[in-house]
Amino acid sequence: MDTLDNPQVVDPKTVSPWPISMRYGVIAAVILIIFGLVMYLTGLSDPATSGQTSNWIGNIVNFGVMIGAAIMAVRKHRDEELGGFVSFGRAFSTSFLVNLVVTVISAIWVFAFFSYIAPEMLDAILEQSKTQMIEDRGMSEEQAEESMGMVGWMFSPGFFAISASFMMLLMGVIISLIIAAVMKKEAPQAPAL
């Protein structure tokens, strides 16, 4: 019987966080892809100009979606699958798995986007970087060309996907630590007899 002094505690080993994390991770990734496509198709986002206000808004929305999906997954896992209790470790792993799913899907999307949908955007980013070298660092055209030749491999769809994944995973760890610290709710210990 479930009472205040003897709550029905679900053994976390019997419930996997993977299904709920996968569900919310896929939902968040689809939302982020649609949002990114809308921003691109409407011209509101231009990766070549990093200081644009719409780019900052896009980043805030991206993190908001990731945080929201992770919170909803941990809450649902805690309240519906674990009887209202979740340890810090389980909350962290659930949140991190959501972010991992989002990261993997997003990396595939970034690679496909820069390879097939908007390959010209990489050229625009490369040109913008070269212009900044000339204007901000006082390089000559030849020096900027030489520098771009050395780092040209960094302007490939694969590198963009890998670097975006690294940043998303790093943010995912930070987000997951915060969410786990806030949402943990340890099961009460049985009184010692």
Residues 15-57: tens digit of each pLDDT: 899 999 999 999 999 999 999 999 888 888 766 666 666 678 8
Residues in CB range of 23: below 8 A, 6 or more apart: 73
Q: How many CB atoms lie within 10 A of CB 151?
A: 11
pTM for this predicted structure: 0.83
Which residue, among 94, 64, 92, 103, has the nearest Cα to 76 in the 3D structure? 94
Is a pLDDT exceeding 60 seen at residue 3?
Answer: no
- CA atoms within 13 A of residue 42's CA, in its CB half-sphere: 11
92-146 per-position pLDDT tens digit: 999 999 999 999 999 999 999 989 988 888 877 777 777 777 777 777 777 777 7
- What pLDDT, on the 0 to 100 scale, is given for residue 58? 84
Query: What mean pLDDT is predicted for residues 72-101?
Result: 95
DSSP-H helix ranges across 42-156 = 53-76, 88-112, 120-136, 141-151
